[in-house]
């Protein structure tokens, strides 16, 4: 199934670019961001570091988000054809297939997010252990986005609408890191928001608490969407 999914993804240029987003983001952060930011004065170092970290955290967080959306498209393309063309591989919409794609999106996200974190130095003040922790928290958001998009999508139009709506979860990362109390509490519903703070906060105790909140939100939302999808679609 994994091989079939990858073949389906690389068959279209847009989906291939989404699959290669970790490489694209890494190259952007390493080579294009310094050029675009116009960093050419020593006194700009502090400001540059802050904006670089904010941009890097947002782009790294986007990787599991993109993979969740990507695999939801592949799943719906098989269960509910999204175009007039016939899907390359037809796999029945079963519970095991659903769980497998959730697991694949999560594992693939972790494998690719972790080296991007280390290569780009998204949060240079944190050590390698915090990087693994952040990669794990981000990886489990991929199946959440996958099941969220799959649950409310029935055709290409609804999938596009739900995909756009789900972007709200992602934009809480930069906005949550920039806003101050009490305004940042209005975006507490997003696991990406809590993961971002769990990644950058210096206190290990607070980092663990924020990570647990992210895990709880992800688990609750995923379970609700999963049960609703099973009940309404008749998946066995």
pLDDT tens by residue, 98-123: 889 999 999 999 999 999 999 999 88
- In sequence order, what are the residues at sequence separation of 6 or more whose Cβ sits closer than 8 angstroms to the Cβ of residue 21? 62, 63, 66
d(CA 79, CA 2): 16
d(CA 21, CA 60): 9
**184 φ, ψ (degrees, to nearest 5):** -70, -15
Number of structural domains (the chain) is 1
Q: What is the pTM of this model?
A: 0.88
d(CA 182, CA 180): 6
- Return the beta strands (E) in the chain as ranges: none
Per mean pLDDT, which range of 2-11, 74-83, 214-223 is the poorest? 74-83
Domain span at residue 140?
Answer: 2-233
Tokens 């944190």, residue located:
126
**Cβ–Cβ < 8 Å for 188, 115:** no
Q: How confident is the model at residue 209 (pLDDT cuts 50, 70, 90)?
A: very high
Grouping H, G, I as helix, E, B as strand and the rest as coil, residue 41 is: coil
Query: Which pLDDT does position 95 carry in this prediction?
Result: 82
């Amino acid at each position: 199934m994994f091989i079939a999914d990858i073949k389906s993804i690389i068959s279209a240029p847009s989906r291939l670019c989404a699959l290669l987003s970790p490489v694209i983001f890494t190259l952007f952060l390493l080579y294009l961001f310094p050029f675009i930011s116009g960093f050419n004065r020593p006194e700009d170092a502090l400001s540059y570091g802050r904006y670089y970290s904010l941009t890097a955290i947002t782009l790294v967080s986007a990787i599991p988000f993109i993979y969740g959306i990507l695999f939801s498209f592949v799943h719906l393309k098989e269960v509910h054809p999204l175009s007039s063309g016939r899907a390359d591989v037809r796999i029945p919409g079963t519970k095991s297939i659903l769980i497998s794609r959730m697991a694949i999106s999560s594992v693939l996200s972790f494998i690719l997010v972790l080296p991007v974190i280390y290569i780009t130095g998204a949060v240079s003040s944190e050590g390698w252990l915090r990087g693994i922790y952040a990669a794990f928290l981000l990886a489990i958001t991929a199946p959440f986005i996958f099941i969220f998009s799959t649950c409310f999508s029935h055709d290409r139009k609804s999938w596009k609408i739900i995909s756009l709506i789900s972007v709200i979860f992602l934009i809480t990362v930069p906005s949550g890191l920039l806003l101050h109390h009490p305004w940042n509490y209005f975006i507490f519903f997003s696991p990406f928001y809590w993961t971002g703070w769990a990644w950058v906060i210096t206190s290990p105790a607070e980092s663990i608490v924020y990570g647990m909140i992210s895990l709880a939100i992800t688990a609750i939302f995923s379970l609700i969407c999963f049960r609703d999808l099973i009940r309404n679609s008749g998946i066995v």
